[in-house]
Amino acid sequence: MRVLVACEFSGKVRDAFLKLGHDAMSCDLLPTESPGPHYEGDVFDVIDDGWDMMVAHPPCTYLANSGVRWLYKQGTKDHNEERWADMRTAAKFFTALLASDIEKIAVENPTPHRHAGLPPYTQAIQPYEYGHPESKRTCLWLRNLPPLVPTQVITENIQQSIWRYPPSPHRWKLRSETFQGIADAMAEQWGFLCPNCGADETTDHPDGESGWCPACEQRVE
């Protein structure tokens, strides 16, 4: 499949899809931190270039519930008008990505606040469900894609170290990067290709046999 990974500079999700043989490209206003196919610029410059799937990570600064307090002037109920304007711009960008003319779409963001007016998310995931002993609730808005299934659930010594990074010019980058276990799960579960015929879907056989490819009508190991 041709996969566009929007608003990604780390290359983690892009590289996970590339590793499985897909034609994947990341896109961001920043240069990529991992050498590979990358468009440095506005995602809407390339969004109509015939992609089969898009995984998007739009900026969350003005949409996340953790920052809702900044919508008001400190110690008052008065609106911070500049912040509200930025929120509306961010929400418009988010919904434009979700409404793109691409068959399969996943958009991820932290839990949004109600003022953003975003549509209901499909599921919420945690890094500790994918092999990382960290807590960072992330929501997924999915279209024509199944919910992600946890791959390695950790139940002990869960940390929140990502929120304790000391102030620095790069802290926002560290906080925004996708955990490798989640990137791998996205590629492996959403980018599945049948080893028999190359089809990108699998289902259960009517007789109950799991891992059945409806394209070549063979069992998938």
Single out the residue of 32, 30, 44 nearest to residue 93, CA to CA: 44
Question: Residue 181 belongs to what domain range?
Answer: 2-190
Report the CATH number that the domain containing residue 137 is assigned in CATH: 3.40.50
φ, ψ dihedrals at 133, nearest 5°: -75, 55
In terms of domains, do 120 and 208 share one? no
d(CA 15, CA 33): 11
DSSP 121: P
Residues 116 and 151 in one domain: yes
Q: Is 19 helix (H, G, I), strand (E, B) or coil?
A: helix
User: Which pLDDT band holds residue 177 (cuts at 50, 70, 90)?
Assistant: confident
More confident: 6 or 115: 6
CA distances (Å), 150 to each of 47, 123, 179, 185, in order? 29, 12, 13, 8
Residues 83 and 174 in one domain: yes
Report which of residues 175 and 109 the model is more confident about: 109
Structural domains in the chain (count): 2
> Where is pLDDT greater, at 62 or 34?
34
Q: Contact 201/115 with Cβ under 8 angstroms?
A: no
